[in-house]
Structure 1
Amino acid sequence: MSVANEFKKGILYSALGKYSNVIIQLLVTGILSRLLTPADYGVVAVVNVFLVFFQMLADFGIGPAIIQYKDLNEKDIGSIFAFSIYLAVTLGLIFMSLGIPISNFYSNAVYQQICLILGVCVIFYALLVVPQSILLREKKFFNVNMVTIAANLASGVLSIVLAFAGFSYYALIIGNIAKAFVMFIIFFYQAKLKVTFKMSGAPLKKIYKFSKNQFAFNFINYFSRNLDKILIGRFFSENALAFYDKAYQVSLYPNQILTSVITPVIQPILSDYETEKSVIKKVYLKITLVLGTLGVPISVFLFFSSTEVVTFLFGNQWGGSIITFQILAVSVWVQMISSSTGAIFQSANRTDLLLLSGILSTALNIISIAIGIFLGKIEYVAAMIVLSFTLNFFMNNYLLMYRLFNATFKEYFKILIKPMIMGLLQIIFFLLLPELPFSNFFNLVVKGIGFMVIFLMGILVTGQGKLLKEFLGRRNKNK
């Protein structure tokens, strides 16, 4: 099967899963945001920062390594799974013990009990890494996405029931545990793994070089992506963290809706072409073209529709997120395009360059976040994050085009000209659009219709329709 056909099949199943999950997430979040307070979300946002860190530790770079190394046999994977069992239990116990220091850091004793409960969640997230990676390695995208839908649905229903019953932020916490449990049980069954507690060093050594760079990248990337939330929760307030976190989540929706249907299938497919850099480059440039065509106009729309988007999704009590979201919307297109770079490094077995990009990105993010915290408002933090994302975008593409593909920026930025023209058309439209006198919902509908009309005009003017079809494989007969 050609690369184009494999991508078409993988993206189809990925889209089915991702769009279903986004719909579930939007419905659940919309309901919970009206049942719970910003303070409740602030408490969960604080502990989620540490939960994400332990999920990263749980992966240990093992997941991508299993996908990349096709010569791992059943015995090798069994040994790696045994290692993940010991790792899961260890990480779970450590997380449970962190309640006291976290409570002291944030001056809130509630985190002691929360950490005890979420330690179970850490264990299940660690255990599902190997079986999920086996399914992705075998390109069983349909299975992975259907399981994720089932887990999100179970988690969402349970969280809503608990919120109605007055469980406050525990509704979100218990729902997260349910999601991890469901995913592990089904992934484990479908991967047909056998539980063993015997480990061999040979398979771990085999994946060490790849996984150590992947793990190191994940480790520093965690701080790069979460330091803002850690410091906002410490130096501002839980309410400020809730408003910032909600705005940040909404700014990620385009990634979840659009790019996340593409990025999960990149490494499982392109890892077969590890030595054929020209194939990988060709796919990357096409991905950049499609994501730019979608991302630039969407960034403009979200910037000019920030009030309507936030209040429609979460209600008027989340007005404190609007300006922050408007600022973050500027970087949506950058984040969309950048979301695929990690998988490209992995596919070419260049996790050393991935690690280097992570180090440079983290340094920039830390400096930017520190400046924003010093200035004293979440809006300043958001503005500095946008600046950091933009600079990282240039650095990552330097590593890809010059160091990996032996190409130049000229070849890369040439394909972004038409997406920028489409973005400019959107800017002109929204600047000329008069202030709308309707409710936020109807204002959003009007702006959305205008966005779609201008977007389709832009597609026709720039001729991007043909290129989008080519990316989807309808006219691509080559590898």
Structure 2
Amino acid sequence: MLLDQRKLAGAATYAYANRFASFAISFGSLAILARLLTPHEFGLVAMVATFTGLLTSLRDFGLSSAAIQSADFSSDDRNALFWYNALLSVVTSVAILLAAPVVSDFYHEEDIRVLLYVSSASLLASGLSSVHGALLRRDFNLRGIFFAEIGGLAVGALVSTSLAYVTRSAVSVVLGTLAQAVSTSVIVLLFGSWIPKIDGAIRSGLHHLAFGVRVSSFTVLNYITNNIGSVAVGFQSGSSAMGFFNRAQSLYALPVSFILAPYLQVQFPLLCRVQGDINRTREVYGRLLTLTSIIFVPLAMVLPFIAVPGTILVLGPQWGEAGEILAWLSPSLAALGLVGPFAQFMTSQGRVMELQWWGIADVGLRGGSALVGSYFGPTYAAAAFSFATLVLAVPIIIWITQRNGTFSLLDYAKACVPGVLIATVVGGAALGASRLAVGHSLGPLVETGIILIAAALPWSMLVAAVRLSPIQVRTHFSSRER
């Protein structure tokens, strides 16, 4: 059957509408909460979130990726994966309840026990709809995902900001997360429009479970790598330092969540469908890398100049230290532009064993660097992690990707060179604007605006010159769906 071009275009439209609305809601609630809660309160939330996030990765067990990646996915498989995931959701939620005292003692913060108890309910609520959501993505039904995620996010933001205004405590954020999880799951289940059955079909899904284990192992290892620095900062420097570190990470994640994520929602299923067709794989993945390189590499060149004033502008004057940490994450942002979709590419090609081995090595490489840096403070943890990502991880990831010949070093060069060249010009423009702004006491709004405008002008002209659009999804796909 031919892959419907209109269906792909509609999916892309909903994916970007989702990110645009999500950005508006998340950015607004972030700015409000940062002015209502202290770094200490955000640190408590971060202590809870890093632990529950790890168990969330374990709960999913790669089953969502298995549902999307599989070429043949019967109703029996669908039912089996739902019950696997439901069981894992219950187990991990109970694990949070049991581990709450241990986590509290680890950080020497008694207040996070109650926060963990509430978070266990959030994990359970979100887990019961994850397979339904994966099937919506598999079928490119991003309309349902749009209403579920935006509806849940809006409810969560309203609850958290309202409670923060009244209580001025971390529990407001955790209760907002619970409200978001419940709302999102309810809407996903409504759009999923199927009721799972318990029968002998559960055994038929064992091969998907085996695939999911390998994907999940990488997800868990990658999560540990990205968060070990934050945990170490919280353990050694306390909740306030972890609050600064967490807010810097949140700002760093904004372009990832609201630019890259929607594109991957369309491109990951497409990569799965073209598995085995080398030319189509090169076309789809090359276009994806070109997009990430022309956005994230130039953005990484601009970030050091706007990190501090931009953070103060968004979060308020008490968050200047978070801006300093954010500035040191710019090399990692550049790395994202070069190899960001690596995991999706490897998963779509069925190369999950290699992905798993890389995850193990990455914990020692980047996670170890962040851990060592944390002994000197949160800024050093960010810098060590970031430079290890760009200097050490990127060359290894590129080598792994091209090992089977599907996507060569020459393909990488063709895809990423435009972004690197654009970044050089954009970085120079940002540097010049920053030098002009120094010593004039312009304030964070004016200073950030001047630098962004100076960088955006050459960036937009150069992108137009190479006839690329950072928000355009071109599939040009006419082969048969696999």
CA–CA separation in structure 1 for the residues paired with 2:338 and 2:460 = 21
CA–CA separation in structure 2 for the residues paired with 1:18 and 1:62 = 24
2:468 corresponds to 1:452: no
Residues 199 and 477 of structure 1: is their aligned pair in 2 closer, same or farther, counting only changes over 3 Å?
A: closer
Residues 289 and 195 of structure 1: is their aligned pair in 2 closer, same or farther, counting only changes over 3 Å?
A: closer
Alignment map for 1:145-160 (pairs within 5 Å): 145-160=146-161
Residues 189 and 199 of structure 1: is their aligned pair in 2 closer, same or farther, counting only changes over 3 Å?
A: farther
Shift of 1:408: 3.3
Residues 389 and 4 of structure 1: is their aligned pair in 2 closer, same or farther, counting only changes over 3 Å?
A: farther
Shift of 1:12: 2.0
CA–CA separation in structure 1 for the residues paired with 2:72 and 2:316 = 52
Gaps of 5+ in 1: none
- 1:401 is aligned to 402
CA–CA separation in structure 2 for the residues paired with 1:337 and 1:171 = 38
Shift of 1:214: 0.5
196-205 vs 345-354, greater mean Cα deviation: 196-205
Alignment map for 1:259-270 (pairs within 5 Å): 259-270=260-271
Question: Identity rate of aligned residues, in percent?
Answer: 18
CA–CA separation in structure 2 for the residues paired with 1:457 and 1:15 = 22
Shift of 1:102: 0.8
CA–CA separation in structure 1 for the residues paired with 2:385 and 2:134 = 31
AA paired with 1:227? I
2:437 pairs with one of 408, 416, 435: 435
Shift of 1:227: 0.9
Residues 4 and 247 of structure 1: is their aligned pair in 2 closer, same or farther, counting only changes over 3 Å?
A: farther
3-state SS in 2 of match to 1:262? helix
Shift of 1:89: 1.7
- 1:61 is aligned to 62
Residues 318 and 167 of structure 1: is their aligned pair in 2 closer, same or farther, counting only changes over 3 Å?
A: closer
CA–CA separation in structure 2 for the residues paired with 1:87 and 1:459 = 45
TM-score of the superposition, structure 2-length normalised? 0.92
Alignment map for 1:295-444 (pairs within 5 Å): 295-374=296-375, 376-390=376-390, 391-403=392-404, 405=406, 407-433=407-433, 434-435=436-437, 437=440, 438-444=442-448
3-state SS in 2 of match to 1:12? helix
Deviations 1:186-224 (A, max 9, x none): 111221232445564422322133212111111211211
CA–CA separation in structure 2 for the residues paired with 1:2 and 1:71 = 16
- 2:251 is aligned to 250
Alignment map for 1:62-81 (pairs within 5 Å): 62-81=63-82
CA–CA separation in structure 1 for the residues paired with 2:202 and 2:445 = 59
AA paired with 2:54? F
422-431 vs 233-242, greater mean Cα deviation: 422-431
193-202 vs 174-183, greater mean Cα deviation: 193-202
- 1:103 is aligned to 104
Alignment map for 1:57-206 (pairs within 5 Å): 57-166=58-167, 168-198=169-199, 200-206=201-207
3-state SS in 2 of match to 1:109? coil
CA–CA separation in structure 2 for the residues paired with 1:214 and 1:42 = 30
Kindly report the root-mean-square deviation, in angstroms, between the aligned alpha carbons of the 2 structures.
Answer: 2.2
3-state SS in 2 of match to 1:330? helix
CA–CA separation in structure 1 for the residues paired with 2:49 and 2:357 = 26
Deviations 1:372-423 (A, max 9, x none): 023x111111111112211222222211122351x53233124333322211
8 Å CA contact 2:76, 2:202 repeated in 1: no
8 Å CA contact 1:103, 1:109 repeated in 2: yes
8 Å CA contact 1:2, 1:478 repeated in 2: yes
51-60 vs 443-452, greater mean Cα deviation: 443-452
Residues 84 and 198 of structure 1: is their aligned pair in 2 closer, same or farther, counting only changes over 3 Å?
A: farther
27-36 vs 140-149, greater mean Cα deviation: 140-149
3-state SS in 1 of match to 2:310? helix
CA–CA separation in structure 1 for the residues paired with 2:217 and 2:470 = 37
AA paired with 2:277? E
Alignment map for 1:468-479 (pairs within 5 Å): 468=469, 472-473=473-474, 476=476
- 1:208 is aligned to 209
Aligned residues: 473
3-state SS in 2 of match to 1:267? helix
Deviations 1:358-384 (A, max 9, x none): 22222212321222023x111111111
- 2:285 is aligned to 284
Residues 8 and 195 of structure 1: is their aligned pair in 2 closer, same or farther, counting only changes over 3 Å?
A: closer
CA–CA separation in structure 2 for the residues paired with 1:472 and 1:370 = 39
Deviations 1:51-100 (A, max 9, x none): 10111111011111111224222233123212222222222111111111
AA paired with 2:111? V
8 Å CA contact 2:300, 2:334 repeated in 1: yes
CA–CA separation in structure 2 for the residues paired with 1:51 and 1:363 = 22
CA–CA separation in structure 2 for the residues paired with 1:295 and 1:254 = 8
